[in-house]
Amino acid sequence: MKTVDCDYFVVGSGMAGLMTALHLASYGKVTLVSKGRLQDCNTNFAQGGICCVMDPADSFDRHARDTMIAGAWLGKSAVVHEICENAPAGIADLVDCGVKFSLSDEGWWDLTREGGHSARRIFHAGDITGEKCEAAMIRRVRRAGIDIRENTVVVDLIMTGRIGASGDNRCVGAYVLDKDSGCIYAIRSANTVLATGGCGKVYLYTCNPDSATGDGVALAWRAGAKIENMEFIQFHPTCLYHPQAKRFLISEAVRGEGAVLVDRHGREFMKKYDPRGSLAPRDIVARSIDSEMKRTGDDCMFLDIRHKGRAYLMKRFPNIYSKCKSFGIDMATDLIPVVPAAHYACGGIQATTDGRTSIKGLSAVGECACTGLHGANRLASNSLMEALVCARLTAARLGPHPEKVSLPRIPAWKTGSAVPPDEAVLVSHMWDEIRRLMWDYVGIVRTNKRLDRAARRLKTLRGEIRDYYFRYLVTPDTLELRNLAVCAELIVKSAQKRKESRGLHYTLDYPRQAKCAKQTVLEGFKG
Q: Is the alpha carbon torsion for 203, 204, 205, 209 positive or negative?
A: positive
Closest to 189 (Cα-Cα) out of 148, 160, 161: 160
Q: Report the alpha-carbon distance of residue 506 to residue 518 in Å, rounded.
A: 15
Half-sphere exposure of 368 (CA within 13 A, CB side): 37
**Start-to-end CA span in the chain (Å):** 25
Helix (H) or strand (E) holding 220: helix 215-223
Contact, 269 vs 105, CB < 8 A? no
SS3 390: helix
d(CA 278, CA 55): 24
Distance CA 344, CA 237 (A): 12
Given a contact cutoff of 8 angstroms between Cβ atoms, the answer to whether 292 and 301 are in contact is yes
Q: How far apart are CA 161 and CA 163, in angstroms?
A: 6
**Cα–Cα distance, 336 to 349 (Å, whole number):** 36
Q: Is 282 an annotated catalytic residue?
A: yes
Rounded distance, CA 441 to CA 452, Å? 9
* Pair 26, 144: CB distance under 8 Å: no
* Residues paired with 286 in a beta bridge: none
| Residue of 282, 316, 378, 392 with catalytic role | 282
Positive or negative, the CA dihedral 432, 436, 441, 445 is positive
Name the residues annotated as catalytic. Answer: 282
